[in-house]
Amino acid sequence: MATSALDTVSADEARHRLVDQLLTDGRITSPVVEAAFRRVPRHLFAPDGVSIGAAYADDVVITKRGPDGRATSSISAPWLQATMLHAARLRPEARVLEIGSGGYNAALIVEVVGPSGEVTSIDIDPDVVARARAALDVAGYPDIQVAQADAEAGWPGAAPYDAIIVTVEASDVPPAWTDQLAPDGVLVVPLRMRGNTRCLALTREGDHLIAMDSIVCGFVPMQGAGTHPVTRRALRGDDVTLRIDDPDTVRLHLDALTAALDGPRVDAWSPVTTAPATPFDSLHLWLASQPHPYGQLAVDRHRAADINPQNWVVCPALLTADSIAYLAIRKLDDATWQFGARGYGPRAAQLTQHMLDLTADWDRHHRNTPGPHIAVYPNGSVPPPTKQPRLLVPRRHTTTAITWTTSGRTA
């Protein structure tokens, strides 16, 4: 295996290079967060065998995998950790609960809140807790409390918290989290909404929470009482799978989709285009926000190259019991990519046209806005009526309302 340039330098040099890059990229925007990243030795929290280069790359470090090989614990990418620290509005002397331990992020938090602050980190996995405790002791953070607990219950012993930072993917907001949050506190949580995970910074507004910030992210899923996994349907074994995060869609009989994928394909292309490397993640959430059966394709690009979705890992798809259409994109020239849709099955033509119409609506009304308004209502509290397009995501404890405002464009 080739040795990276970072493997030939010291941990201190690698750490400062990482921080310099985060500053250049605009991920770190305050001196106190910069100081935290410069002080905490990230490599001490990585598993044995992880090189200095990998420990200080702006990427995830997997710390534990389950029997199926999927990650169950990790150190998040530094850019995302910095973003979440800023989103939490941490201040000196704050009391903070971290849900999903690993040690490194807790050390960053305590550097930000200072010696008069208080940080508690919990995880359901005793191995993760033990590793975090040992790494924190070696790194010089013996005062951070690390405990084994189910995320669903939070940690009432040290509440109320000025910030609760959740570092696992959640599909719901348990009552314990809001109960343990100070009246003016911030809850930072990667919340999954119809398969789309956004890291939200939530604050109270009356009887519900509203999102001040929202960013695309990915985390290992929550375990324990709050587990709510995505349903996975194999369409071509592991080569093509359909992820469904919606009870109405799960109840559809989708057995005909496998045969549909082996039949003729309908391609349709939109006048809507994008420049290379320009984010359009709001399009994914917009497509998920429609009152239509919806899922997300995951495709092995080497063994199912004929499918060719816009995103090989998670691509929006509109469904019927016997047909599917997914988002596509193609290169027109060095400066332009074109959106489209590819469909299979008896209703492929209707589904692909519907996706093109939705893409045009997004481009006209929502593309140039800050994004939808996202609010989380406890069950029993009803979101107010609106004439704007809205997706409601009902869960056991809460309903998330994703409401789309328009840019004011008329053409």
Cβ-in-10-Å burial (0-12, 13-18, 19+) of 405 comes to: middle
Q: Report the alpha-carbon distance of residue 387 to residue 102 in Å, rounded.
A: 44
Q: Report the alpha-carbon distance of residue 3 to residue 168 in Å, rounded.
A: 32
Owner of token pair 């497509």: 287
Query: How far, CA to CA in Å, does 139 sit from each of 11, 111, 155?
Result: 13, 12, 24
Q: Answer yes or no: 76 catalytic.
A: yes
**Most distant CA pair in the chain, distance:** 65
Angle at 353 between CA 350 and CA 354, to 5 degrees: 85
Q: Report the alpha-carbon distance of residue 181 to residue 405 in Å, rounded.
A: 29
Conformation bin of residue 80: beta by default, left when phi > 0, alpha when psi is -120 to 50 = alpha
Q: Report the alpha-carbon distance of residue 320 to residue 292 in Å, rounded.
A: 9
Q: Report the alpha-carbon distance of residue 47 to residue 45 in Å, rounded.
A: 7
Are 309 and 315 contacting, i.e. CB atoms less than 8 angstroms apart?
A: yes
Q: Report the alpha-carbon distance of residue 143 to residue 133 in Å, rounded.
A: 10
Structure token digits, residue 60: 């995830």
Dihedral sign, CA of 41, 42, 48, 49? negative
Q: Report the alpha-carbon distance of residue 235 to residue 317 in Å, rounded.
A: 13
Tell me which H or E stretch contains 196: strand 196-205
Torsion of CA 104, 108, 114, 116, to 10 degrees: -40
Active-site pick, 76, 101, 171, 214: 76
Residues involved in catalysis = 76
